[in-house]
Amino acid sequence: MPQLPYVNINYDNGAIAQAVASNDGLLCIAVIGFDSKSSYLEAGKPVLLTCVNDLVSLRVNSGYEPNGHIFAIVEDFYKEAPEGTRVYLVVYPDTLSMSGILATYDPYLTEVFLKTKKEIRGFIIARKYNKGDEEGRNDDGMHSEPEQAIIHAQQFGNWTAQTHNAPVFVLLENYLFSFYDSSLETGELSGYDCNRVGLITGCTSWYYNNQAVGLVAGRIAVTPVHRHIGRVKTGAIKVDSISIDGTPINDNYSQILTENHHITFRSLAGKAGFFIADDCLCSFDDYCSLTRRRTIDKAYRIAYALLIEELNDEIPVNGDGTMLETYATAFEQSVENAIALNMTRNGELSVDPSDANDTGVKCTVDRTVNVLATNQIKATLRVRPFGYAKYIDVLLGFTIVQ
Amino acid sequence: MENKNNNTNVSETINQQGTGESTTETKTDNTAKRKKTQVSADTGKAKSKNNNSKQTKGGDNSGVDITIQNEGTSGKGGNAESTVIPAPETPQTTADHTRARIAADIFKRMTHETVFFTADFIPFGDKNDAVRHAANLSDKTIIEHKKQ
């Protein structure tokens, strides 16, 4: 039936800071310990926040309120991230442990991850201070809870990648960390070989005794995947003081914590304020820094979304069962193009400007595989990250010629 | 490329996890229980109207099912009723085992003598907190675990 010609104008939504175009910085802050009587927070139910005032509507207020620690974390988040930045908040009763909510066989953060359609790129785990919990500290100054949670956090990250093809990282609050007896030694976190897990050490508030997880989360949320969260040009983090177990942080503390793969803070001579010292994860491999982790995880998600379309597709083969050269080239090109479009174009991969064909990504299909017999395509995908100026050595002298 | 899996691996991993499946099963069981089970005031025993209904958690337990009014003060779900039932002495379903394991971990770490699980496996140390939380769930059953 013919239809009258018409003009239809629809409202587009989400262009003005209400929603971010990319989910690269979409995080979930999980807080163990909350008061349900005084707020509308529900245990295990993720709430999407876009500003601090969203907490007020949930009856979570600042100061000496029972859920003041939650307010402080979210307030810190929005000191670094502008209003409109999306972040999930989920709370659990203090009967649960960090390991407990991260366990892949229990329905806590696994449920949150699935409920939020696997959009979340990173989980930040914090815990409300309970009087007497100091007894749980080990000899190396770390509390047993985050220490035990490291392995579970890695398993959780692996579960998101291997089972759901949507990899995430996990940052744990180094709950109640203390340098014991001024021995200035702490656990060697790199020994864990957990390249999806980081530990945040350094408090902003003596009252809540919480590490500054909100500040780090806020900085991550607004930082592109290829950018170091401790980049000096980005500016100091918005905080007046950082302390560890009540003692203001100093260079010695920052040095030892960074050597031991903690994410901590530092001050810089000639620069006001505090900066994130480094973005170490608990490992020594290629993915030992958060920047590398986020870069490769983004490539993973893009590649997966593209390759899933190729499943069960027919492949033209040569007489010996190997893939046709033209098809192999087209396959490589499509993968490279997808990553170049979503990452290189955003400046998230390193490219050689003198080479017009360099996109910072290289996909290579193994042409020797007998596709007919094995039904397999074997490929290698490599992306080129940026290097980072972590150590700058300069020899300074006079230009006088003897 | 890292950790690339095909569909077969995905299915295998999901089967290995088993939690999601058991969670769904538990919720179904609990819903069935709510619909099909009545509490007899004089005997306190659960009766099933449907003989074909599945055995649910706590079904064999002769403990009294307590129906209590939500004591929440926040104004949400104030009219909802929650049913507190003791955990079975011997875990029977996957959900029973999960709760027993989580409760054992809590008793090991904390000083609680009792833990109250809502249908979504959230363990509360305080019954009122559990009742308040259950008021927002479709299944308002609360399972009480006591320290052995």
pLDDT digits (tens, 9 = 90+) for A248-280: 888 988 998 898 899 999 999 999 999 999 999
Checking if the pLDDT of A150 tops 70, the result is: yes
Cβ distance B132 to A311 less than 8 Å, yes or no, reads no
**Beta partners for residue A199, in sequence order:** A172
Cβ distance A94 to B125 less than 8 Å, yes or no, reads yes
The residue behind tokens 């027993």 is B100
pLDDT of residue B60: 37
Asked if residue B144 lies in contact with residue B124, where contact means CB atoms within 8 angstroms, the answer is no
Distance from CA of B137 to the nearest CA of A (A): 10
Give the pLDDT mean for A286-292: 94
Checking if the pLDDT of A207 tops 90, the result is: no
pLDDT of residue A184: 54
pLDDT of residue B34: 39
For chain B, what's the residue count? 148
Residue of A nearest to B118 (CA): A43
Checking if the pLDDT of A182 tops 50, the result is: no
Checking if the pLDDT of A289 tops 60, the result is: yes
CA-wise closest residue to B71 among A86, A44, A256, A37? A37
Residue of B nearest to A106 (CA): B19
Partner-chain residue, chosen from A93, A100, A380, that has the shortest CB–CB distance to B129: A93
Cβ distance A381 to B1 less than 8 Å, yes or no, reads yes
- Distance, in Å, from the CA atom of A85 to the CA atom of A94, rounded to the nearest integer, reads 28
Asked if residue A258 lies in contact with residue A277, where contact means CB atoms within 8 angstroms, the answer is yes
Q: Give the pair of three-digit tokens for residue A250.
A: 């100093």
Between CA A171 and CA A177, with CA A176 as vertex, the angle to 5 degrees is 75
pLDDT by 10s per residue, chain B, length 148 = 334 343 333 333 333 333 333 333 333 344 333 333 333 333 333 333 344 434 344 333 333 334 444 444 444 444 457 788 898 888 889 999 999 999 999 999 888 999 999 999 999 999 999 999 999 999 999 999 999 8
pLDDT of residue A244: 86
Sign for the pseudo-dihedral over CA of A95, A98, A99, A103: positive
| CA A229 and chain centroid, separation | 10
| Residue B121 with chain A: CB contacts under 8 Å | 106-108
Q: Are strands B114-117 and B141-146 parallel, antiparallel or unpaired?
A: antiparallel
- Binned at pLDDT 50, 70 and 90, residue A187 comes out as low
Cβ distance A104 to B10 less than 8 Å, yes or no, reads no
Q: Give the pair of three-digit tokens for residue B11.
A: 């299915």
Checking if the pLDDT of A64 tops 50, the result is: yes
Cβ distance B5 to A165 less than 8 Å, yes or no, reads yes
Sign for the pseudo-dihedral over CA of B125, B128, B129, B130: positive
Residue of B nearest to A155 (CA): B17
pLDDT of residue A188: 63
Question: How would you list the strands of the sheet with B123-124, edge to edge?
Answer: B66-69, B81-86, B141-146, B114-117, B123-124
CB pairs under 8 A between A and B: 98
Q: What DSSP string runs through A63-131?
A: TTSTTHHHHHHHHHHHHHSPTT--EEEEEE-TTS-HHHHH-TTSTTHHHHHHHTTT---EEEEEE---T
Cβ distance A162 to B14 less than 8 Å, yes or no, reads no
pLDDT of residue A139: 78
Cβ distance A40 to B102 less than 8 Å, yes or no, reads no
Asked if residue A245 lies in contact with residue A186, where contact means CB atoms within 8 angstroms, the answer is no
Q: Give the pair of three-digit tokens for residue A395.
A: 């020899």
pLDDT of residue B80: 53
pLDDT of residue A12: 57
Segment among A4-8, A138-142, A148-152, B48-52 with least mean pLDDT: B48-52
* Angle between the N-to-C axes of helices A144-162 and B7-17, in degrees from 0 to 180, rounded to the nearest 10: 140
What is the average pLDDT score of chain A? 89
**Higher per-residue confidence, B107 vs A7:** B107
Q: E strands along A309-395, which residues? A: 361-365, 379-383
pLDDT of residue A11: 63
Give the pLDDT mean for A277-292: 92
Asked if residue A228 lies in contact with residue A279, where contact means CB atoms within 8 angstroms, the answer is yes
- Binned at pLDDT 50, 70 and 90, residue A195 comes out as very high
pLDDT of residue A374: 93
Checking if the pLDDT of A17 tops 60, the result is: no
pLDDT of residue A389: 92
What pTM value is reported for the model? 0.81
Cβ distance B2 to A43 less than 8 Å, yes or no, reads no
pLDDT of residue B121: 95
- Distance, in Å, from the CA atom of A40 to the CA atom of A161, rounded to the nearest integer, reads 33
**Higher per-residue confidence, A36 vs B31:** A36
Q: A262: burial class by Cβ within 10 Å (0-12, 13-18, 19+)?
A: buried
Say which residues have a Cβ less than 8 Å from residue A223's Cβ, sequence separation at least 6.
A25, A229, A231, A234
pLDDT of residue A177: 87
**Higher per-residue confidence, A17 vs A296:** A296
Checking if the pLDDT of A181 tops 70, the result is: no
- Distance, in Å, from the CA atom of A125 to the CA atom of A108, rounded to the nearest integer, reads 12
CA-wise closest residue to A214 among A74, A375, A4, A45? A74
Q: What is the pLDDT of residues A79-123, one digit of tens each?
A: 999 999 999 999 999 999 999 999 999 999 999 999 999 999 999
Mutant choice from A35, A95, A162 vs B, greatest count of B C-beta within 10 A: A95
Cβ distance B74 to A311 less than 8 Å, yes or no, reads no
Distance from CA of A162 to the nearest CA of B (A): 6
Q: What is the pLDDT of residues A320-351, one digit of tens each?
A: 999 999 999 999 999 999 999 999 999 999 99
Cβ distance B122 to A97 less than 8 Å, yes or no, reads no
User: Which stretches of chain B sit within 8 Å of chain A by CB?
Assistant: 1-7, 9-10, 13-14, 17-20, 23, 72-74, 76, 98, 102, 105-106, 109-110, 112, 115, 120-125, 128-129, 132-133, 136
- Binned at pLDDT 50, 70 and 90, residue A137 comes out as confident
Cβ distance B19 to A104 less than 8 Å, yes or no, reads yes
Cβ distance B122 to A44 less than 8 Å, yes or no, reads yes
User: Which stretches of chain A sit within 8 Å of chain B by CB?
Assistant: 36-40, 42-45, 59, 92-97, 100, 104-108, 110-111, 114, 158-159, 161-165, 167, 296, 299-300, 303-304, 307, 311, 379-381
Is this prediction's ipTM beyond 0.85?
Answer: no
Between CA A11 and CA A18, with CA A17 as vertex, the angle to 5 degrees is 60
Give the pLDDT mean for A287-300: 94
Partner-chain residue, chosen from A93, A100, A165, that has the shortest CB–CB distance to B125: A93
- Distance, in Å, from the CA atom of A138 to the CA atom of A175, rounded to the nearest integer, reads 12
Asked if residue A360 lies in contact with residue A384, where contact means CB atoms within 8 angstroms, the answer is yes
Say which residues have a Cβ less than 8 Å from residue A46's Cβ, sequence separation at least 6.
A28, A88, A89, A90, A112, A115, A116
